[in-house]
Structure 1
Amino acid sequence: MNLDFMFVYKNKSSLLLLSKKRNPVFFLFCLLIGIPILFINPAHSEINDTFTVRNISVDVTANSSFVAKDLAIKEGMRAAFQKLLKRLTIEVDYEKLPDMEDDEIENFLIGFEIEEEKLSNVRYIGLLTFRFKDSSIRNLLTTNDLNFSESSAKPFLVIPVYKISGVFYLWEKDNPWKIAWDNFSKKSGLAKFVSSEGGFLDFSEIGPVQALSGDEDRILSIAKKYQTDQAIVAFASVKHDSLRGNVSLEVKIAHYSTGYAEDLSATLSFDLDQGENMDSLFSRAAKASAEKIINDWKYVNLIRNTGKENTLSVAVDVDSLDDWISILTKIKTISLVRKLEINSLNSNKIKFTIDYVGNASQLQLAFSQNYLDLSKEQEVWFLKKAKK
């Protein structure tokens, strides 16, 4: 088991750092004799995937390819920086995002990678990835009085039902609404949208009638097939307004999830622009619908700028050291958790303290997205693995 988190043993005269993978026996010994052990969440190390921005396209022409490349990297850095800030904040706050010069942005940058590039004598075309310092970005947002969210959601399985002229489409290959979601399904900020295959098992599992009637058992059953426990039924129908002489696409999003989750259902409408074809309208509607879901998710999980961390004492039953390490591995991906200190081990029960940002409900939601059930029973918080 390859784990990169660090345990810290403290006493009055020394500070010892050790990695679990180097010395698990010592770690277990510390637990058994009651030595407090501090777990620093590596989600807050400088390299954090939430603060990595990929697929930044650049195309710059200058006097030479060297100048063009330098200008392209700076242009890409600016674009990635703005994309990251928008990823973490909600849409109503976009106008308050700081406008910074290149040399200022560089202070927040860990580095960049060139995924693809093409050069001519005067032109540079590239696909770049930029990695930013998580703690510095958090400080920037806090300083500018901006609330933000960095909790990732479990994948959303998209069930795209389309109605036209009284006919319903779902898994058919010529369903333009499904094609639009298939093209969009990718990592997008703090959420990932999974496109269904539309194979025989999907046909047999659920049809458009069951999806639109809210057959939760069937909806969550097919979600489980795609290794998640939440889904959205995206119902799109074409509307013709004879009075206004326009065509629109009405979209109704119904959100289904097991466990602790917020309802992200919504209703949206998109007019067909002059000169726009229907394929473009479907693509635009799918993208906007996904962005609406992501924005609502961020709003639920906003970290308010109170300037302080909260503390929670938690107990968990474990069967073995590997069982506990498995739980820690999940916790280390939860960005709300800043620090975890193990207090005691007694009869296969571990008690520990969490320092976190946000509120308890947000922490519960973040844990549930990592298949961990955090619940309160008679003023005591308990943690256990949730079933997938």
Structure 2
Amino acid sequence: MMMHCSYKRFLARRASLPLLCAFVFMAFCSVFAGAGFAAALFTVDRVQVDVTADNALAAREEAFDLAQRKAFTQLVDRLSPNGAAAAEIDLMDTSVIASMIKDYEIIEEKISDVRYIGTYTFRFRSSAVKRFFSGQSLTYSDLESDPIMILPFYQVNGRYDLWSYGNRWKDAWDRVNGVKSLVPVIVPVGDLQDVSDMRDDQAMTYQTYRLRALTDRYGAKETVIAVAVPDSSLIQSIQGGGAAQGSLIIKLYRTDESRPVLATQFFIRAEPNDTHDSLFDRGVQRVQSLLRENWKAQTMVNAGQMNNIQARISIASLQDWVRTEKKLKAVSAVEDVLLESLTAQRAVVTLQFEGDLRRLQMALNKQGMKLATLQANDVRVDQTIPMYELK
């Protein structure tokens, strides 16, 4: 069962509009659609709760409060340094979290006389969340990285395995493939072309041009080789079919050189309640956390740290300007686009953005745009604001 619930309901009216008004309406809608690209980052999917109380109603209300808190905790962890706001969230009233929620969906629910089990999806209002960060003097990043490809090699007794059905490490990565994150991760499916480009025995001896072809085919920016090595105790527990025991050694390699370069390695030790799947899942979560924290360190911004520049944009038509404005509105670092002047060949805008110019450049690059410095004798609309050419 799926139920969609909105915190605010709006009534839209349709009317017959002259051609000019229709065009303005179309432009507005395109800008609104562009803002939707960043909205996914403020959506938390599949929040699961299981609550028992005196009766079904009490259990459901308690579960909903718990779901909101869990969703917001996941969102803050996604955007801010690990544990940065944990204490503040624990002390927050649920009504404060609720005020930041745009809408939610009940994906699934089961109700008994005293128990409620539910799965929710929450969509948060980005502006409200940023105000929370500002009020708590927290840093955060809402700039999404280019996708990273993970090649999950499983090494047992010195033998590497990537594509076979017995690769528990790849199975764990497949379970999170496509999950929303600041650092999107892609795991190749292992079709004939994939296997041709990267064989099981090539973790440390890959051919650079074939790895590049594999990376490009999936639209990833770079590839990380993630090698998981079970120790002897873990191998025995897997073969015996009992509870998980021992440790999983995980090694991460960069592939930006002709041969893999070890970046880091760590251990994931089995805990008392671990299954083999949960142990491997925790290994995946640790790798994802390392990737996120590295990206956050590059793109972190203080909430409320606003800057302005002006940009000159060459356009071919009014429709071309509408498309360009839509792309600018979709840039996560851009808070507002103010049109200063518009002619048939050129638009001049003021961009209000978070963070420094380098962060803005990174965000623009993701939308296929870049800033270029103007010549010294170029005319500027406002001499007090830096001006660039936006291409």
Which bin holds the TM-score, normalised by the shorter protein? 0.7 to 0.9
Q: How does 1:329-368 map to 2 (within 5 A)?
A: 329-344=326-341, 348-368=345-365
Q: Distance in 1 between matches of 2:114 and 2:83?
A: 40
Residue 95 (structure 1) shift:
4.2
Scaled by the length of structure 1, the TM-score of the pair is 0.76
- Quote how far apart the aligned CAs of 1:208 are: 5.2
What CA deviation, in whole Å up to 9, does each residue of 1:233-263 have, x standing for no partner? Answer: 223334669xxx9644132142669xxxxxx
Which AA in structure 1 matches 2:294? D
My pick for the range that moved more, 318-327 or 364-373, is 318-327
1:81 to 64, 69, 72: 72
Shift of residue 126, structure 1, vs aligned partner:
1.2
1:121 aligns with 2:113: yes
CA separation in 2, counterparts of 1:149 and 1:211? 33
- Which of 280, 283, 286 is residue 281 of structure 2 equivalent to? 283
**Match for residue 198 of structure 1 among 187, 190, 211:** 190
Do the aligned partners of residues 318 and 106 (structure 1) sit closer, same or farther apart at CA in structure 2, a change above 3 Å counting?
same
Q: Report the CA distance between 1:291 and its aligned residue.
A: 1.6
Deviation at 1:184, TM superposition (A): 2.1
Change (3 A) 1:72 1:164: same
In structure 1, C-alpha distance between the alignment counterparts of 2:40 and 2:46, rounded to whole Å: 14
Query: Cα deviation per residue 1:75-116 (whole Å; 9 max; x = unaligned)?
Result: 111111222222221115244544201233222233322111
Find out whether 1:168 has 2:160 as its counterpart. yes
Which residue type is aligned with residue 290 of structure 1? Q
Supply the AA of the counterpart residue of 2:289.
Answer: E
SS at match of 1:161: strand
Q: CA RMSD in A?
A: 3.7
C-alpha distance after superposition, 1:139-178 (max 9, x if no partner):
1111111001111223322222233322222222322221
Q: How does 1:213-292 map to 2 (within 5 A)?
A: 213=205, 215-238=207-230, 247-254=247-254, 266-273=263-270, 279-292=277-290
Residue 59 of structure 2 corresponds to: 68
3-state SS of 2:301 partner: coil
CA shift digits 1:253-274 (9 cap, x unpaired): 42669xxxxxxx8413114336
C-alpha distance 349-205 of structure 1, shift in aligned 2 (>3 A): farther
Cα 1:75–1:280 change in 2 (3 A) is closer
Name the CA distance, whole Å, in 2 between partners of 1:280 and 1:26. Answer: 49
Alpha-carbon separation, structure 2, partners of 1:153 and 1:208? 28
1:311 Cα deviation from its structure 2 partner: 1.5
Structure-2 separation of matches of 1:202 and 1:21: 51
Identify unmatched segments of 5+ residues in structure 1: 1-17, 28-36, 258-264
Change (3 A) 1:78 1:279: closer
Secondary structure of residue in 2 paired with 1:48: helix
Residue in 1 aligned with 2:140? 148
Conserved in 1, the CA contact under 8 Å of 2:198 and 2:206?
A: no
Q: What is the CA-CA distance between 1:346 and the residue it aligns to?
A: 6.3
Aligned to 2:3: none
What does residue 15 of structure 2 align with? none
Residues 248 and 211 (structure 1), Cα distance of their counterparts in 2 relative to 1, 3 Å cut: closer
CA gap of 1:60–1:42, structure 2 versus 1, over 3 A, is: same
Alignment match, 1:295: 293
For residues 152 and 375 of structure 2, the distance between their equivalents in structure 1, rounded to whole angstroms, comes to 43
With structure 2 as the length reference, what TM-score do the two structures score? 0.75
- Structure 1 vs Structure 2: percent identity of aligned residues? 26
- Measure, in 2, the Cα distance between the counterparts of 1:346 and 1:126: 54
Q: Distance in 1 between matches of 2:276 and 2:305?
A: 49
Q: CA deviation at 1:137?
A: 1.6
Q: 1:70 to 1:149 in 2, by over 3 A?
A: same
Check 1:163–1:315 CA distance in 2 against 1; reply closer, same or farther (3 A cut): farther
Q: Tell me which residue corresponds to 2:81.
A: 90
Q: Distance in 1 between matches of 2:226 and 2:19?
A: 46
> How far is 1:350 from its partner?
3.9
User: In 2 relative to 1, CA 250–113 (structure 1 residues): closer, same or farther, beyond 3 Å?
Assistant: closer
Q: Quick one: structure 1 residues 226 and 22, their matched pair in 2 at CA, closer, same or farther if it must change by over 3 Å?
A: farther
SS at match of 1:310: strand
Give yes or no for contact 1:251–1:269 (8 Å, CA) kept in 2: yes
More strand by share: 1
SS at match of 1:285: helix
Query: Residue 231 of structure 1 aligns to which amino acid in structure 2?
Result: T
Paired residue for 1:48? 39
